[in-house]
Structure 1
Amino acid sequence: MGLNVPWGQYGIHGTKYPWCVGKQNASHGCIRMHNKSAKELYDTIPHGTTVTIVQKNRPFKELKSGDVGSDVQKVQKALKKLGYFHDWPSGKFQDNLKKSVIKFQKDNNIKVTGKVNKSLYNLIMKKYEEKLGNG
């Protein structure tokens, strides 16, 4: 079963390595299930169903060029609202986002790295929330 997100395509599928399910982070973004469970899900869930994936207690990882995902997309959306990012929020950390991050760092007197660490992420989100509150 395919999941389409702006930064790529992922799947929910079975595996020929069932001993790995739930024990190893061996996937590149897909959701691996036991074959019987994957078939049951396929037979039960209608095509087009919205899927929300929640990972509790996920540690923050520094965001940098080449990264992809919803965390990157969230930074793009926030920086767009703040007037730093001028492209479509694709969820891909490319040169356009790096330039936006560098400009934000310069404007806020933060060491320029072009990367988003936890403290920078928190600052971006704080300013984004303030902007949303003010319209």
Structure 2
Amino acid sequence: MESNTDELRKFLENKISNLKKELEYYEYLLSLLESGFSPVKGSKGSIDYIKSRKGEIIAEVYYTPPLMKIIVRRKLTLSKAYINALSKILEDSKNNDKIDYNIVFDKDDLKEISINNVNDDLCYNKIKIALQTILERAS
């Protein structure tokens, strides 16, 4: 019974911490609006998220054609098999869709992937879904 109470306590503490962070984020956005900030109209930029099976954010995907940037938001060490799969997917897109890419590691942890020349939504979705599959399994 004690371990269930400890698990519940940890869950609730994590939930409260996450909600506080979310509240701070919304307060920051509200302060931007109140200070006169207005989003740039007409840009085709978007932000998307790659999440784990538990719903936790693994990475943020920023897309402003022709640039796509994936920023990993948690510690993620990829095994050699996942690195090979990632490289194969990006090399195939490099050959077929004429993209350029750069993968940034910090020691053994994946930090960021920058992809240039992603000129259409089909290419974007193909790459995003492939990366999501790899990152989701690696997390």
Q: What is the TM-score of this pair, normalised by structure 1?
A: 0.28
The structure with more helix, counted as a fraction of residues: 2
